[in-house]
Structures are given as C-alpha cells and as structure tokens.
Amino acid sequence: MSNEKKELTQLADIGEFGLIEKLTKDISIKNKSTVKGIGDDAAVLDYDQKEMVVTTDFLIEGVHFDMVYTPLKHLGYKAVTVNISDVYAMNAIPKQVTVSIALSNRFSLEAIETLYEGIKMACEHYNVDLIGGDTVSSVTGLTISVTALGEVEKGKAVLRSTAKPGNLVCVTGDLGAAYAGLQILKREKEVYLVNPNSQPDMSGYDYVLERQLKPECRKDVIEGLKKNGIVPTAMIDISDGLSSEILHICKQSGTGVKLFEDKIPVDVQTMMVAEELNLDTTLLAMNGGEDYELLFTIAASDENKINEIEGVSVIGEILEDKKELKLYGRGEGSTTIQAQGWNAYKK
C-alpha cells in the first residue's frame, strides 16, 4: 500500500452503516433496467412485464456463526433463508439463488456435502432454483456468499421509503428468540471449553435454539397479505433487530414512529431465557436481531383485514414528526428508539 502520512480512519469509528453510506453516496444509475439500486432489502430491476429483485449476503465463520455449535446442515439452510427473507421483504417471490463457498483444507468432502444438504433443503422448501456459484479455497475458515433473485409484479415491490403518517406498524411472529438461543449456545460453549466431556443440556430451549439455528422466512404472511388484498406501504425484514429496522423505515420515509412495548410479541421461552440470563426482555426483542420476521406498515383502513392474517401484531403507528421516534413503556413515559445495529469493528 502507499506510504500514507495522514491519520487514517478506523472502521470501528464509523461502523457498518457509516461505512456503507460513505462508500455508496456518489453511486448513480446508468441503465434503464435498474429501478432501485442500493438502500433497500434488495435491488429492483425492470424486466418488461415483471420486476426482479436481487439481494446478497455474506456469512463468515467466527463473525456470523461459530462452528462449535452450528451444525453444517443448519448453516446451509440458514445461509439461503436469510437471503430469501430479503426477497420476501420486497413483497417478491424468490425464484433463484447462487451460493459461493470459500473453505479451507480442514473441511472434508463429506462436511461440505452436509452443508449443501441444508442449502438444497432450503431451496426445496422455498421452491427456488440453485443456479450457480463459485467454490474456492480459503486460507482459514468458511465463508458463504448467497445471492437471491425474485420476481414481483411491476410496481408492486414494497420499499422501505414509502411509509406514511397514520400508517399502522406491523410485525410478524415474535422477536428476540434467535438472540436468546444464541446466548444459550454461547453459555454451553463456555461449559464445553471448561469440560469437554460435559453433555450439553438443551432441554427446554428447543424453540429459541431453532430460531437461532434454523430460522424460517415469512412466506406465509406474504401469501396472506396477497390473499387479503393488503399491499404494505413499506416493508423490511428484521435481521439487525426491531429498533434498527424501524429506524431504517422512518429515516428513508422521512417520518417518525411510536411503538408500544406491551404490543411487541415475545415468546414465553424467550422471556424465560431472559429471566434466567438476567437480560431485559424488551431490549432483547428490540435489539436481538436475526429474527427474520417482517416489519411493515399498512394503511389504517386495512386494520380489520390485517387481523385476518395469523401471526401479525400491530405494534404502533407512523408519525409525521420525524424527530419523534418513541417506544411507549408499560408504565407511563416513553424512551427514544436507538439503533444498536451492530458494529462488529468495535472490539
């Protein structure tokens, strides 16, 4: 590298979102088929009668997963699922994926075949075709890069930037369980490191562990919305946590929001784990991440219709004042919603 004299900026100081913003701020669109580029769950491309969405994600050993407690088949399944989740979050139907893997010599053919079993299972389950990829060696560890492609009727892609004041804020399923599951896995790893002969006791944690190790996308809700004639005004999937995602919607839509703590859906097992590990349940639900549930906004007039769809909770309302970003607690008073996001560059 060149002999740089001036002070360099550490990645830890600007974080993931800051980095992306810096890198992409001056990117302009040249091709007419590019409807929407960077800045949503997926890009949108125009192909005559249809639009196509494209999204991509990395999974890195030691950052996104730990081989000590991640079965390879689950990992393959999750790698596909988290990308497909972004396609659904555009209101599109996933159709194809490419999967690239970089792996070191320490993996055997049989290990990679197990990983691929999971990849193929997810493709089967979500009816997508595995159409390509790249298989290369790495110096250390396992890296997986997945790109997912989907289709949506022209003009029906749902962006993050189109929420309107008065819209209702909805979330699918329950939140915080995947993070709770991760804490249990980490605890068991500690036990294992101290005593490798110990047998992990995972009974009573089945739901939170499954949420962490084998998340599913809300294909059913996308179908339910269609069936009930609801087109969300804005949508995003929850990968970094509810706080972070609702702030994305508000920032991009130029709106505020109020959420109600007592409306946020949390599973009983998640609450039990929170209590056991002395974690705050609401914090866990707001910032846990990896839920792969959908967060979306609808016109207030769709309130009755949304109740027809199983697994959807109305948790708040979009506000006009973009400085108003509040979570109303169970008691009196409210707090300002803050994005934890992640900043993996911070030690």
| 199-258 binders of its own copies (CB under 8 A) | none
Of 36-44, 168-176, 278-286, 312-320: span binding its own copies (CB under 8 A): 36-44
How many residues belong to the site for its own copies (CB under 8 A)? Answer: 85
Structure tokens belonging to residue 203:
């009974």
* Cβ-contact 114, 73 below 8 angstroms: yes
Residue whose C-alpha is closest to residue 257's, from 274, 288, 229, 236 = 236
Q: Identify the residue among 84, 102, 235, 266 touching its own copies (CB under 8 A).
A: 102
Residue the block writes with tokens 């800045």? 39
Closest CA to 158 of 338, 3, 28, 35: 35
Q: Which is nearer to its own copies, 167 or 212 (CB)?
A: 212
Which residue do the tokens 């769709």 mark? 302
- Decide: helix, strand or coil at residue 234: strand
- Closest approach of Cβ 37 to its own copies, in Å? 4
Q: How far is the CB of 330 from its own copies (least distance, A)?
A: 36
The Cα–Cα gap between 69 and 115 comes to 14
Q: Does 105 bind its own copies (CB under 8 A)?
A: yes
Q: Around Cβ 32, how many Cβ atoms within 10 Å?
A: 7
Nearer CB in complex with its own copies: 330/347: 347
- In the bound complex, what is the minimum distance in angstroms from residue 110's beta carbon to its own copies? 5
Give the Cα separation of 209 and 178 in Å (integer). Answer: 7
Q: Pick the stretch among 20-28, 183-191, 207-215, 316-324 that binds its own copies (CB under 8 A).
A: 20-28
What is the closest distance, in whole angstroms, from the C-beta atom of residue 302 to its own copies in the complex? 29
Q: How far is CA 54 from the centre of its chain?
A: 15
Strand bridging mode 168-172 / 50-60: unpaired
The nearer residue to its own copies, 27 or 193, going by C-beta atoms, is 27
**Pairing mode, if any, of strands 93-103 and 129-132?**
parallel
Cα 124 to Cα 37, 74, 80, 94, 116, distances in angstroms: 29, 14, 11, 12, 12
| 186 interacts with its own copies by CB under 8 A | no
Stretch that binds its own copies, among 18-26, 230-238, 259-267, 324-332 (CB under 8 A): 18-26
- Give the nearer residue to its own copies in terms of CB position, either 116 or 260: 116
Binding to its own copies (CB under 8 A) within 69-98 occurs at 71-72, 95-96, 98
> Does 37 engage in binding with its own copies (CB under 8 A)?
yes
Shortest Å, Cβ 337 to its own copies: 23
* Contact string 123-162 vs its own copies (x = CB under 8 A): ----xxxxxxxxxxxxxxx-x-x-x-x-x-----------
93-103 and 334-336: which strand pairing?
A: unpaired
Q: Which amino acid is at 169?
A: V
Residue 145 Cβ vs its own copies, minimum distance, rounded to whole Å = 4
Cβ-contact 149, 117 below 8 angstroms: no
* CB closer to its own copies, 24 vs 335: 24
**Contact between 193 and its own copies (CB under 8 A)?**
no
